[in-house]
Amino acid sequence: MAKHLKKRGSANGSCAFRTSIGGQALMEGILMRGVTRQAIVCRKADGSLVTKVEELKFIKEKYPWLGWPFVRGVVNFLDSMIRGVKALTWSAEQLPEDEQQEPGKFDLWVQKHFPGEKADKILISVAVVLGILLAVGLFVLLPTLLAGLLNRLLPLGAWRGFFEGIFRLLIFLGYLILVNKLPDMRRVWMYHGAEHKTIFCYEAGLPLTAENARKQSRFHPRCGTSFLFLVIFISILIFSLVRAENTLVRFLLHLLLLPVVMSLSYELLKWAGRTDNTLSRLVSAPGKAIQRLTTAEPDDSMLEVAIEALKLVIPEEKGSDIW
């Protein structure tokens, strides 16, 4: 551990060590995920904090091969998605009743026909599946269709995969810009910024205070936004290998190659996250630039939420969370 603590942190995001602790912004709260447990901390309308701490159990403990490099990327993505939906649901339940969304007809039907815990599992599973289908539709199917239409007007040849990637990137940026226009998202992005600043503060070896965290950068190289950009970038390289002309066949092949793309993206993010050189900074730069759309400067009350969540997952064994 000592060799990792020679370099002290600063406001530009330099750090003493790289932690594997990560987080997610929620509705008026933050999820922090550590080595052995995760913590959700939300601020109630009266200003008090409510917390939920859970011990983590990973499927790789039962099936070690699921933790192998180039396999773990897809597994960790799905695991994070499921835990993230659960955390979002719990944080939404902490909002004042007049701010909570009324359950839809499907939710009411599931709650009526299944016991409480089983109903929650069904609703979360449906939300995850719908999220995956939306992502596949927007970022795999739609770019393939658009490039196919363009190919009819102007034969693209070997450039077809490149244009699919450009459409994918434009759709991704357009999606983020549209989401930014939603009124409630501004505060979520502020909590996202608080999460990054707090993790930087911890990595810098500084006392976890709002004052110290405030000085840190809100653009973190190990962010989910950076992962999504890498998925898009690597998909341009991998999908360019597909030579099929039929649009449906191309889509199906892209779908089959998607786990490969995600696995490579995860390993590249992991490498860039624990490495500090010109190449790793170059790899991280586009994702950090896009974080200008997905983070905002937080206030001190948000930093306090992030700090509390982080403290709850710092491992007892010092250094066991080194990335």
Question: What is the per-residue pLDDT across 152-201, written as a single tens digit (0 to 9) for each?
Answer: 999 988 889 899 999 999 999 999 999 999 988 999 999 999 999 999 99
Q: Which residue has the tokens 């060799």?
A: 3
* pLDDT for res 240: 86
The identity of residue 271, as a single letter, is W
* pLDDT for res 166: 93
* pLDDT for res 14: 57
- Measured CA to CA in angstroms, residue 227 lies from 75, 103, 155, 168 at distances of 14, 32, 32, 14
Reference 308, options 213, 219, 218; nearest CA is: 213
* pLDDT for res 6: 36
Confirm if 89 and 42 have CB atoms less than 8 A apart.
no
Residues 6+ apart with CB under 8 A from 159: none
Kindly report the pTM of this predicted structure: 0.89
Residue 36 CA, distance from chain mean position: 19
Secondary structure class of 34 (helix, strand, coil): coil
* pLDDT for res 117: 83
Residue 235 CA to residue 237 CA, distance in Å, equals 5
* pLDDT for res 25: 97
* pLDDT for res 185: 93
Confirm if 23 and 199 have CB atoms less than 8 A apart.
yes
Residues 6+ apart with CB under 8 A from 40: 26, 29, 30, 31, 51, 52, 53, 87, 90, 91, 309
Residue 296 CA to residue 144 CA, distance in Å, equals 33
Confirm if 30 and 194 have CB atoms less than 8 A apart.
yes
Residue 25 CA to residue 230 CA, distance in Å, equals 21
DSSP-assigned letters across all residues of 37-49: EEEEEEE-TTS-E
Average pLDDT per run of 10 along the chain, which is 323 residues long?
38 71 96 96 95 92 88 91 93 86 84 84 91 94 95 89 93 94 92 97 96 96 93 92 91 95 94 89 95 96 98 91 83
